[in-house]
Amino acid sequence: MRLFLILILSYPIMALSQVNKDSVMIKRLSDEIMTNGKAYDLLRELTKNIGGRLAGSPEQHNAAIWGKVNMEAFHPDKVFFQPCKTPNWKRGGKDYAAIVGIDGKVMNKKLAVMALGNSFSSKGLVEADVMVVADFDELEKRKNEVKGKIVYYHSILDPNMIETGRAYENAYSYRSDGPSRAAKYGAVAVMIHSLSTAPDNEPQTGVMEYNDSFPKIPAIALGPMDAKALYAQARTSTIRVQMETFGFFLPDADENNVVAELKGSEFPNEVITIGGHLDSWDVNEGAHDDGTGVVHTMEVLRAFKALNYHPKRTIRFVLFANEENGGRGGLKYAELAKSNNEKHILALESDDGGFTPRAIGIGCSATQLKRFQNWNPLLKRYGTEVIAGGGGADLEPLGLNDKKTILTSLLVDGQRYFDLHHAVTDVFENVNKRELHLGAVNIAAFIYLVDQYGVGN
């Protein structure tokens, strides 16, 4: 009885001791990353020496080799490729569009445009009157007017939605599904307002998907300023547009996920995954999308090794191939995890850019969320807290394999992300070193806590 009382009375002291230990370790991780971090330098190498990394391109192939060599230099237990086939879409030329007539008056006003990813060539110049619609509802109401027209969707991101990611999700279908929905009624081409929050005229590309039941018509995004002007004028005038695109596919390419691993000392069969995607679009350096997620992943590995940290659970550091226009890297990682009968307890993706970290988003039960939120006092010092909602495109197949796998993501201040997303402006110069490294600090802190305590039931 006396021993029992001693244990009961000493429990708060033991718990406080553990909290202090965790606080000290997280501070060490922070100091290491903020003082000696290599993420910014690695990002400079990736963006300036390799550049844009479209799936199937030589740059994407070189980026995988670069990632493997650099992670090997941090001396994890192992580094390996996971081969996968990826789509091999090519832009094929310089996309073009111009207003060539207004109410019958001939003119030539060039528009800032960019073909949507995975879209097909126009096979020469396409010229037609423009039919502008605010949304899919208007398209359906006016479907009898569509035949022979170029349909323009006014797919602006709702400025009243403070969470820009949600605004993007709401507008996404105009880019992904818009071409086929217009082709269903006889449209000859589609234009959209770039899914952008920028007050500029830089068009933003991004993936679209054809429905095989309808013609595969060309599709372009307009720069925000040109898009708004076209929409306003076409509401009261007949606008005629000429456009040309060149997109095509080659046979699927041979690419690789790059995986580094630290083997767990106590629970080696419980796997924690951290990742970002190596590929980007062809028109920029892919700095925020997703070079920052790539170097976040590499920096956490580097910091753990620099502090001689030996994890309890196996931690994987994954640079995924082909998130942008196919998701083949995430599918291959999940496929191999399933075939190898691996137990993945949690996965985190950084794919929201390298801006100031705000939270760790978690998709899990309410009971688990409450447990994770007990860590908030340790994380808030570094700018984040655990909140509901998280995951990433590369992780979704892993979650489908096993509903018990918890999917998480680093959530950052997203107010500027869609100014740059998929545009020529997504370059190294638009990444802040301190914000980037602070993101790595918060990922490292969270992953350390998951490794120490697991995820519960």
The domain ranges of the chain are: 33-86+252-453, 94-248
Whether the per-residue pLDDT at 53 is higher than 60: the answer is yes
Q: Residue 185's closest CA among 218, 151, 209, 219? A: 151
Pairing of strands 386-388, 357-363: parallel
* Res 297: pLDDT: 98
Whether the per-residue pLDDT at 278 is higher than 50: the answer is yes
345 alpha carbon, distance to own chain's centre: 22
Whether the per-residue pLDDT at 399 is higher than 60: the answer is yes
Tell me: the pLDDT tens digits for 313-344? 999 999 999 999 999 999 999 999 999 999 99
What CA dihedral angle connects 133, 138, 141 and 146, to 10 degrees?
Answer: 20
* Res 19: pLDDT: 75
* Res 2: pLDDT: 55
* Res 16: pLDDT: 59
Residues 282-293 have a mean pLDDT of 98
Residues 405-411 have a mean pLDDT of 97
Residues 344-368 as b or e (16 or more Cβ within 10 Å = b): bbbbbbbbbbbbbbbbbbbbbeeee
* Res 456: pLDDT: 82
* Res 237: pLDDT: 97
Residues 92-115 have a mean pLDDT of 97
**CATH code of the region 33-86+252-453:** 3.40.630.10
Looking at the chain, the whole-number percentage of residues with pLDDT higher than 70 is: 96
Residues 100-111 have a mean pLDDT of 96
Q: Can you give the pTM of this predicted structure?
A: 0.94
Element (H, E) at 263: none
Whether the per-residue pLDDT at 227 is higher than 60: the answer is yes
Tell me: the pLDDT tens digits for 156-176? 999 999 999 999 999 999 999
Tell me: the pLDDT tens digits for 436-451? 999 999 999 999 999 9
Q: Which residues does the annotation mark as catalytic? A: 323
Distances (CA, A) of 279 to 57, 196, 198, 351: 9, 20, 23, 11
Tell me: the pLDDT tens digits for 185-194? 999 999 999 9
The span from the CA of 448 to the CA of 265, in Å, is 14
* Res 15: pLDDT: 56
User: Is 88:251 a contact under the CB 8 Å cutoff?
Assistant: yes
Tell me: the pLDDT tens digits for 12-43? 544 556 778 999 999 999 999 999 999 999 99
Instruction: Return the CATH number of 94-248, one of 2.40.180.10, 3.50.30.30, 3.40.30.10, 3.30.565.10.
Output: 3.50.30.30
Whether the per-residue pLDDT at 5 is higher than 70: the answer is no
Whether the per-residue pLDDT at 6 is higher than 70: the answer is no
* Res 274: pLDDT: 98
Residues 90-99 have a mean pLDDT of 98
Q: What is the mean pLDDT of the chain?
A: 95
The span from the CA of 242 to the CA of 203, in Å, is 17
Q: Which residue reads 């691993």 in tokens?
A: 261
Whether the per-residue pLDDT at 113 is higher than 80: the answer is yes
DSSP 21-62: HHHHHHHHHHHHHHHH--HHHHHHIIIIII----TTSHHHHH
Upper half-sphere CA count for residue 253 (Cβ side, 13 Å): 25
Residues 109-121 have a mean pLDDT of 98
User: Which pLDDT band, with edges at 50, 70 and 90, does 390 fall under?
Assistant: confident
Radius of gyration of the chain (CA): 24
